[in-house]
Structure 1
């Protein structure tokens, strides 16, 4: 974690070692991976770091955009790359990447966040084929809205008045329906089922959202979501 010195709960558990890790800090990634490998045998690398902002693309600063891409996508790539030589030499191991149902479909005001999750999904699929020659697995877990502080940084971006009514509507519709414990159960199953399976869905609505998209197709799903968010609101176009 970024600040292990601030942790109070995990430090009370047996057989838990906390190490500093900011996934945007390449030199720290290399040092921490080396330290972890020196301490124990590694079976699973769980990439779970995330940073999310919900707003119109027009409202984002470049810093807002870069931070999301750097944390959600490049951070996952960097940590994975650092562990690959260890798993390759061991001829075993599993990378488990936490993405989002937003990595399988589109919603308004999440273009950058969802974009990073689509990127992780596509990258994970490629890597799962690439590393299979060494007996190394790659899987993704896609949660639905979960009761965490992922989007607690929304004050980092100032909404624009042109989008305010729709943004307020969407934020009102996004209510966490799953607990971290429920997501953790799916993560545990994915790491222990020994299946050659890439994608797992977690949470009360993730599988239903994905199934609906597969049932009606991507284009129909896109139009359905547009209707869901925009039909009740009046806009002056042009």
Structure 2
């Protein structure tokens, strides 16, 4: 797709979590397609080179710091005058046994994946309402549609994000604002997996769960190894489509690996779906 018509004012997108992964890739794609980009990240010192792009502004935004959220929105408006689209991308995953996960990490999971999204959204809504237009794209996950063992807390945060986004879409339609969800599955070449592994490393080791955890580790390792061709580029294209297709479509499934489970969850009976998941994940 070619860049925007030079005679048409460039649109502006604010994206959270741009230091790597989906955020960085989406920022580069939007800029290449003629958009202004407010690329935010917790630590701008970790900027992967986005600041060198003419239409990209790199700004500090930590979704757990409301002052930084307000400052980032204000900085973007000062430079570009208007924001048309918000991509709530920042997030991380906890991986491991629920019982072994410290309460502080559970709190952080929801502060980043749910409350952070809400706070960034709340900060930009007055601007969108004043314009009578705007698009909010929340990056969910297949784990927001189906539950996976050893990912109960990540699933809980993404299920919450899905319900919040769906309900919010009805409210905001009344003021001209569209809400969308992009649902990726497992993707290589991001730091999401390594951070999830680091978080899991801080958990207690409960011996009773070891055989089950060992079995699931082998399953997920095989799944990861099957994803060699799945990269952030395809997800960034889906994010861009959600921002520009002019529809009120709510959900976009972004990677092929989760489509069978999404179909089982949404297109079959509860009994058929649960039988499928139990066959894969229940102890024998």
> TM over 0.5: same fold?
yes
Structure-2 separation of matches of 1:8 and 1:183:
18
Deviation per residue, 1:2-40 (Å, 9 max, x gap): 111222421232211100011011111111112212221
Per the normalisation by structure 1, the TM-score is 0.92
Counterpart of 2:278 (choices 203, 226, 235) is 226
Residues 176-195 of structure 1: matches in 2 within 5 Å?
A: 176=224, 177=227, 178-195=230-247
Per the normalisation by structure 2, the TM-score is 0.78
Structure-2 separation of matches of 1:218 and 1:190:
29
Structure-2 separation of matches of 1:208 and 1:125:
22
Does 2:159 match 1:118?
Answer: yes
Helix, strand or coil at the partner of 2:174:
helix
Counterpart of 2:74 (choices 24, 28, 34) is 34
Counterpart of 1:12 (choices 27, 44, 52) is 52
* Residue 70 (structure 1) shift: 0.5
* Residue 151 (structure 1) shift: 3.3
* Residue 157 (structure 1) shift: 2.2
C-alpha RMSD over aligned residues: 1.5
Helix, strand or coil at the partner of 1:158:
coil
Runs of 5+ in structure 2 lacking a partner? 1-40
Deviation per residue, 1:94-150 (Å, 9 max, x gap): 000000011011111111100000001000011110010111100000001111222
Indicate the residue corresponding to 1:55 in structure 2. Answer: 96
Residue 264 of structure 2 contacts residue 272 of structure 2 at CA under 8 Å; is this kept in 1? no
Runs of 5+ in structure 1 lacking a partner? 234-238
From the superposition, tell whether residues 219 and 9 of structure 1 become closer, same or farther in structure 2 (CA, over 3 Å): farther
Query: How many pairs are equivalent?
Result: 232
Indicate the residue corresponding to 2:146 in structure 1. Answer: 105
Structure-1 separation of matches of 2:42 and 2:107:
18
Structure-1 separation of matches of 2:74 and 2:213:
44
Structure-2 separation of matches of 1:208 and 1:191:
25
Residue 187 of structure 2 contacts residue 232 of structure 2 at CA under 8 Å; is this kept in 1? yes
Of 34-43 and 163-172, the range deviating more from structure 2? 163-172
From the superposition, tell whether residues 219 and 74 of structure 1 become closer, same or farther in structure 2 (CA, over 3 Å): farther
Structure-1 separation of matches of 2:269 and 2:205:
32
Counterpart of 1:168 (choices 214, 236, 255) is 214
Residues 117-156 of structure 1: matches in 2 within 5 Å?
A: 117-147=158-188, 148-152=190-194, 153=198, 154-156=200-202
Indicate the residue corresponding to 2:33 in structure 1. Answer: none
Of 180-189 and 165-174, the range deviating more from structure 2? 165-174
From the superposition, tell whether residues 31 and 54 of structure 1 become closer, same or farther in structure 2 (CA, over 3 Å): same
Structure-2 separation of matches of 1:170 and 1:12:
43
Structure-1 separation of matches of 2:111 and 2:137:
18
From the superposition, tell whether residues 173 and 12 of structure 1 become closer, same or farther in structure 2 (CA, over 3 Å): farther
Indicate the residue corresponding to 1:198 in structure 2. Answer: 250
